[in-house]
Amino acid sequence: MSTLVAILLLAPAVYAGGSLLFGLTCWRPRSMRATAGDALILAAHSDDCVILAGEYGAASSLAGRAVSIVYLTCSDREPGSDLAEARKMEAHSAWSRVGVAEENLHFLDLPNSPMDGPLVSSTEQIEEAQAKIEERIAALPEESVVFLPAAGEQHVDHDLLRKLALKALASVGRPDLRVFEGPEYNRYHSLVRSPGKALVSVWQRLPLLRRLHARLAPPTFAGFVRGGPAIRLIHERDMLDTKREMLGAFTSQGREELEGFFGTHDRLRAIRDPRRALQQEPRFYFRTGSRYLAPSVVCLWILLYEVLFLTARGGGRVIVGLHAPGAVTLGAIVLVSLGLVFASLRRRRAMEEKLVFLAAAAGLASAVV
């Protein structure tokens, strides 16, 4: 029995710890020397282009190569609105800083959908956008580079653009093109693929510690939801400050927030076969509320519940060992346990956070059983 308990305690620790170590070492982004080339950046919204490939686009433009950007939406619910026009001007301002001409920015002007959907674009609008993207890809010079959103993106417009871009690439048939994908934000958490984000996601769900999250948690890489590690393209000169300056042009979307969360090096991954990439979906994740957890993160939570249970059990035994009357001790433990159970029932708490309270309550209750 003791051996079985030891295995149950150690197995999650070994799996979670091994995954974290693997993610911090073997799965770190690879560095690759970048070669400036003609580039097409496909962005769902006005700021996405800089977030996705701002460093490469800036370096290529400053090197005299042709850089063009296609925006799927108008970045507002209605094309032609004051906000949509303001964000177009911000995009022009951002890219003019590195010499990209205004005529190289192309707006397909689909309406901006809510992040979690549904898509508000009509079938006709989507088909027209697909055709225009195909035209842009077909007209690219040889050996051009194409950038598009990664799989698993949280925003439905990002997901739509990825599918349209991959279909266009497969339809046009340009094996000479180099294609890269990059993540912006998603709901998938893995200690291997995005260790920083996974640890922060756990931190956010822990009572008391979550209060420190907004002040202390650093920006984290969204991570790819499947496939190999990311690539960081190394340019002849560091373009990170330039990328941050470009992000600063998008004042309507929160300059400080953009620079804080996305003012990092481009992290990309090559797509070899657009048709195959189109069929790939995230796998081996468990859904908890609005999040998707990899087995490594699930094991980390199990480990935390075990530690919390044993800690609460030990604390309960200390209380039982005091020389207080038995009824008083029992009453105190029952009240605290019921309080923890009651705290777990709040609707706004995430499932992981509810289980934190239940694990502590179970540990206390087990001390008197």
* Residues near 274 by beta carbon (within 8 Å), at least 6 away in sequence: 166, 167, 169, 170, 179
The fraction of the chain above a pLDDT of 70, given in percent, is 88
Write out pLDDT tens, residues 289-299: 889 999 999 99
Residue 327, pLDDT above cutoff 70: no
CA angle centred on 22, ends 196 and 162, rounded to 5°? 60
pLDDT of residue 334: 64
Give yes or no for residue 348 having a pLDDT over 80: no
The pLDDT score that the predictor gives to residue 361 is: 79
Round the average pLDDT of the chain to a whole number and report it.
88
Q: What confidence tens digit (pLDDT) does each residue in 149-196 have?
A: 999 999 999 999 999 999 999 999 999 999 999 999 999 999 999 999
- Tell me, what's the pLDDT at 2? 66
Residue 343: band (very low, low, confident or very high) from pLDDT cuts 50, 70, 90: low
When pLDDT is cut at 50, 70 and 90, the band that residue 237 belongs to is confident
Using 50, 70 and 90 to split pLDDT, how confident is the model at 280? confident
From the list 112, 161, 98, the residue with the least C-alpha distance to 132 is 161
Residue 26 clears pLDDT 70, i.e. is over it: yes
pLDDT digits (tens, 9 = 90+) for 214-227: 555 566 788 999 98
Q: Given this model, what pLDDT does residue 322 score?
A: 66
Which residues belong to CATH 3.40.50.10320 in the chain? 34-186+222-292
pLDDT classification of 323: cutoffs 50, 70, 90: low
Cα of 272 vs its chain's centroid, Å: 22
pLDDT for the residue numbered 286: 94
Going by their DSSP bridges, the two strands 269-270 and 39-43 should be labelled as unpaired
pLDDT of 13 higher than 80: yes
Segment (H or E) for 171 = helix 156-172
Q: Which residue is listed with tokens 């842009």?
A: 136
pLDDT for 47: 95
- pLDDT band, very low/low/confident/very high, at 329 (cuts 50, 70, 90): low
- With a cut of 80, say whether residue 57 has pLDDT above it: yes
Tokens of 3: 């051996």
State the pLDDT confidence band at 355, using cuts at 50, 70 and 90. confident
Handedness of CA 42, 47, 53, 58 (dihedral sign): positive
**Which CATH number is correct for 34-186+222-292, 3.40.50.10320, 3.90.1330.10, 3.40.50.10490, 3.30.390.30?**
3.40.50.10320
* pLDDT at residue 363 tops 90: no
Q: Is 60 exceeded by the pLDDT of residue 1?
A: no
Q: What is the pLDDT of residue 6?
A: 72
The predicted pLDDT at position 212 comes to 62
Whether residue 108 is predicted with pLDDT greater than 90 in this model: the reply is: yes
Q: Can you say whether the dihedral through the CA atoms of 306, 312, 318, 322 is positive or negative?
A: negative
